[in-house]
Amino acid sequence: MKLLALLGLMLAVTALSIVMVRADERPAPGKQVPQRLDRDGETIHYLLFLPKDYENSEKERKWPLMLFLHGAGERGDGNLELVKVHGPPKIVETKPDFPFLLVSPQCPEGEGWDAATLQALLDHVESQFPVDRDRVCVTGLSMGGYGTWALLAAQPRRFAAAVPICGGGNVADAEKLKEVPVRVYHGDQDRAVPVARSREMVEALKQAGGKVEYTEYQNIGHDSWTQTYADEKLYEWLLKQTRKTSE
């Protein structure tokens, strides 16, 4: 009986190991795949996209990276299909030539974006792939817009550019953000996140001498991200940005 119990335990552990392995798909160019990073007792679930030409590129080529932060409605504990509902993770499902390595983490249910966790995730991805560390950008919508401002404030020298959409930040951070090019977007009829949250950040950055551009959509509510992420000129602008100093 003890032998049978031991065999049963071994089979259960083996099955669990198989499930854990299958949770992470092998990254493949032109395809967005689920990944997982175990760190300090927590699990970070995220989607990873490699551009279509990734494997065919020169060996020494380094790639720009985009970190995308979703809104509150897409939080979960590994259900990464939710992360594909809006923004770049949705776009790359039908655009295999998207020109960035795209990292799209999922914030746990009931929590908000944590800057330290996001920094650890970026450290991990940058250690595994040929990322151009002078061309890393961050963008997010709603709760992810707030997360974008917070992460930028935590590590301003890490990013080449930032695109917070319908979010808000701490105006006291403006001085340390002024060297990072930022494009801010918000709808003037937003009832979920008041447009004042973006206006005050933009004004604070202007007062600090920051590099900020602001687009306020007229007669648009909370969804100011669909038309923002549909604009090819946004990605052209992002690809031109390079951080001024290396850490």
CA distances from 213 to 109, 173, 207 (A): 32, 17, 13
What is the tens place of the pLDDT at every residue in 119-170? 999 999 999 999 999 999 999 999 999 999 999 999 999 999 999 999 999 9
pLDDT of residue 92: 97
Average pLDDT, the chain: 89
CA distances from 50 to 15, 88, 125, 181 (A): 29, 12, 12, 25
Rounded CA-CA distance 59/3 in Å is 52
Q: 135: closest CA among 64, 234, 237?
A: 64
- Given a cut of 90, whether residue 247 has pLDDT beyond it is no
What is the tens place of the pLDDT at every residue in 196-225? 999 999 999 999 999 999 999 999 999 999
- Concatenated DSSP letters for 204-215? HHHHTT--EEEE
CA diameter of the chain: 76
Rounded CA-CA distance 54/221 in Å is 37
